Amino acid sequence: MRPRMRIPDRAGDSETALLRYLVYGLLPAWFIPGLLDWNQHRRRPLPAGYFATIGLGVIATIVVPYGEELARCVKGDKE
């Protein structure tokens, strides 16, 4: 069985403060809209071109960093 992580009542250091922010702030901020989105798409199917746009987003995520590096090489910037 996995050991439980205990969060102290008062944040004494940055690790505890970050853990509180992630568990009580950011996680619900992602979970609640995701749950609402799932509920909407459960009732109504996704549009036909939706998956094509997901593919373009993935390709852009992969290609953009390489394009920036290529532009730096051509421009001659050294970092």
The mean pLDDT value for 45-61 works out to: 73
Nearest 5°: the CA angle 61, 63, 65 is 80
Q: Is the pLDDT of residue 72 over 80?
A: no
pLDDT in tens, 4-49: 777 666 667 777 788 888 888 888 888 888 898 888 878 887 677 7
pTM of the model: 0.39
- Where are the domains positioned within the chain? 14-45, 48-79
pLDDT given at position 34: 87
- Give CA–CA dist 48/51, Å, rounded: 7
Q: Which two tokens stand for residue 56?
A: 């373009």
pLDDT given at position 79: 53
Ramachandran angles phi, psi of 77, nearest 5°: -70, 140
